[in-house]
Amino acid sequence: MSLRSRHHLFAVLACLSLLACGKEEKTAEPVKSARPALSVKLIVPQREEWPQTLAANGSVVAWQEAVIGAEIANYRITEVRAEVGDVVRKGAVLARIANDTVGSELDEAKASVAELEASAAEARANAQRARELREKGFYSSQLATQYQTAEQTTVARLAAGKARLQSVQLKVDKTIVLAPDDGVISARSAAVGSLTQGGQELFRLIRGGRLEWRAEVPAADLGKLAPGMLATLTGPAGEPVQGKLRMVAPSVDPATRNGLVYVDLLRSTAENGQKSGQKSGQKSGQKSGQKSGQKSGIKAGMFARGEFELGHAPAISLPQSAVVLREGYAYVFRLEGEDRVVQCKLSLGRRQGERVEVLDGLPANARVVASGAGFLADGDVVKIVQGDGK
């Protein structure tokens, strides 16, 4: 090998040696740590006793609604005292019907009874005298029998006259429409000047002012309910309305497979409304009731949602701010190591206020990101701020 070739080989070897040294120096440089994605506060799940509930939907209706109608026909209404919403007492006057014609019939019946009483007294005296004279032999048996028959006939006519008088008196009494029970007027069709018809509806009365919630419950859950259980409805403004389960229906609708449960509302119209100060039979021109001021806002005919309290059971819960919903699933970010988080899929259960129950997917002692987890990804490095584990 010539001297020039040797020099060329040494030069190539020197270059290769320098390149190898550069690689080693580059590899030996320290790796810079990853930058935290977010500053977070960590919390741990809480174990506590939560109430077990059963949700249901249904309608609010009157416990019993009485239809108050006219019992006499073709008489004019002269006065209406009750309006829709009035709280009335049993026996309160709701309306009056013209009684002039019926009054004349009553006078005629009374006069007829007086006449028959006089005839009966005369016939009774004649029969008594005939019996006394017959014993002395002055009257024949036939004549005595005639006096006795006249007495019995007159007494029967008197009884018929008194029955007619009683019937007319009942007719007079029916010219005053009375409340059959305490309650709230829910409808009124009576109007001054209109003619009555037999059985015609004049008023509707919610007896006792009691309302009930008729909730539909799946057949599989009916066995969890029993009379006396408490229920909580949600009013129109979001306020809670308490109730107590009175009865579970003995049958299930074959079309929906749901059964009805009947819940007495504890804060009904009559309880929250102002009481009517009018006594039964009071003869004043004032209204028979005052407007009800139902505080709960629940009224008959409303649709309402509610829950039944079944008892209490332990629950492991997290605040809702720690849960992230992605693609229809619930996740939390759990701390793994010192500063790295991993995404964990959860199975959620009951909700109470701002907390949610964790059924599966998270150890009881896990530390998870309290809020802002929506900005994190699986494996992100985080910076832990004060409040760790609380």
pLDDT digits (tens, 9 = 90+) for 240-278: 889 999 999 999 999 999 999 999 997 543 344 334 333
At residue 93, the pLDDT reads 92
Share of the chain above pLDDT 90, in %: 25
Residue 231 clears pLDDT 80, i.e. is over it: yes
At residue 114, the pLDDT reads 84
Cα–Cα dist 99/105, whole Å: 10
CATH code of 128's domain: 1.10.287
Domain-located, residue 4: no
Looking at every residue in the chain, the average pLDDT score rounds to: 79
Which residues touch 371 (CB under 8 Å, ≥6 apart)? 40, 41, 319, 321, 322
Write out the two tokens for 313. 């059971």
At residue 138, the pLDDT reads 63
Which residues touch 98 (CB under 8 Å, ≥6 apart)? 75, 76, 77, 78, 175
Domain that holds residue 83: 65-97+176-208
Domain-located, residue 20: no
Residues 60 and 180 in one domain: no
Residue 86 clears pLDDT 50, i.e. is over it: yes
pLDDT tens sequence across 150-192? 778 888 888 888 888 887 787 888 888 999 999 999 899 999 9
Which run of H or E residues covers position 26?
Answer: helix 3-27
Domain-located, residue 157: yes
Number of domains within the chain? 4
**Which band of pLDDT confidence, cut at 50, 70 and 90, is reported for residue 219?**
very high
Residues 163 and 239 in one domain: no
Domain-located, residue 292: no
pLDDT tens sequence across 304-343? 999 998 888 888 899 999 899 988 899 999 988 888 889 9
Residue 14 clears pLDDT 60, i.e. is over it: no
At residue 306, the pLDDT reads 92
CATH code of 232's domain: 2.40.30.170
Segment among 43-47, 126-130, 276-280 with least mean pLDDT: 276-280
Domain end marker among 157, 191, 208: 208
Residues 302 and 220 in one domain: yes
Q: Which of 332, 328, 356 has the alpha carbon at shortest distance from 343?
A: 332
Q: Measuring CA to CA, how many Å separate 29 from each of 19, 26, 35, 331?
A: 16, 6, 18, 38
If you count them, how many residues does the chain have?
Answer: 390
Domain-located, residue 233: yes
At residue 287, the pLDDT reads 40
At residue 139, the pLDDT reads 62
Residues 122 and 194 in one domain: no
Cα–Cα dist 243/227, whole Å: 11
**Which band of pLDDT confidence, cut at 50, 70 and 90, is reported for residue 140?**
low
Cβ pair 303, 215 in contact under 8 A:
no
At residue 121, the pLDDT reads 82
Q: Is 225 helix (H, G, I), strand (E, B) or coil?
A: coil
At residue 372, the pLDDT reads 86
Domain-located, residue 8: no
Backbone angles phi, psi at 222, to 5 degrees: -65, -35
The stretch 71-85 carries a mean pLDDT of: 88
Beta strand pairing call for 382-384 and 38-40: parallel
The stretch 365-380 carries a mean pLDDT of: 87
Residues 81 and 122 in one domain: no
Residues 86 and 196 in one domain: yes
Residues 147 and 243 in one domain: no
Biggest CA-to-CA distance, the chain: 195
